[in-house]
Amino acid sequence: MTEKSYIVDDKKIYVYDNMFTDDVVFDIAVKNTKSVFQRKEYSKDETKLFYSANFELEDIISTKFYKQIVEKIYEKFDINVKLQSARINAQTFGDMSEIHIDSDVGGITVLYYINEVWDKEWGGETVYYEKGEPVVNVLPKSGRIALADSRISHVGRSPTRQCTGVRHTLALKFERVD
């Protein structure tokens, strides 16, 4: 497992490659195959729709993947958390995306890049911002995971024209539990 860490506006981001064993990845992949994507999630200004598939929280909480994520959050952020939402986002070339935060009261956002293959020429980076400027770019490499303070501004960029597939990310949003 490799780890990279960043500080943005005094808030933490951790990026991991190869954090999970094949059986853990398979567990999440099986749940993904059952997903029905709908264009029903709205942007922050409620003018644009994007594709996503929501999970029942119990389906995620019962996995080894979830247990490892919660342990890593506690290790790195020293907080207890509760899963608030779990969904897979789907983006294709030309889809709109906006810079946003996931919570203004704190918590952790976890992004797991679940495409089996991703070429760096396809774009699709998650870009984190500090004072309106891009400071951290995370390429959606297969099996990569990003853990970030949910108050950090970010955006999931759409793939480039060269990408003929769909960029999938499993997004888990956790709230802080005191």
Dist CA 42 CA 29 (whole Å) = 25
Read out DSSP for 95-150? -----B-S-SS--EEEEEE--S---GGGB--EEEEETTEEEEEE---TT-EEEEET
pLDDT number for residue 93: 92
CA Rg, the chain, in Å? 15
Q: How many domains does the chain have?
A: 1
pLDDT at 89: 85
Q: How confident is the model at residue 33 (pLDDT cuts 50, 70, 90)?
A: very low
Q: What is the pTM of this model?
A: 0.88
Q: Which domain holds residue 36?
A: 2-177
Q: CA nearest 98: which of 107, 89, 106? A: 89
Lowest-pLDDT choice from 9-13, 52-56, 118-122: 52-56
Query: Mean pLDDT across the stretch 137-151?
Result: 95
The per-residue pLDDT for range 85-125, each reduced to its tens digit, is: 988 888 899 888 889 999 988 899 999 998 888 999 999 99
CATH number at residue 147: 2.60.120.620
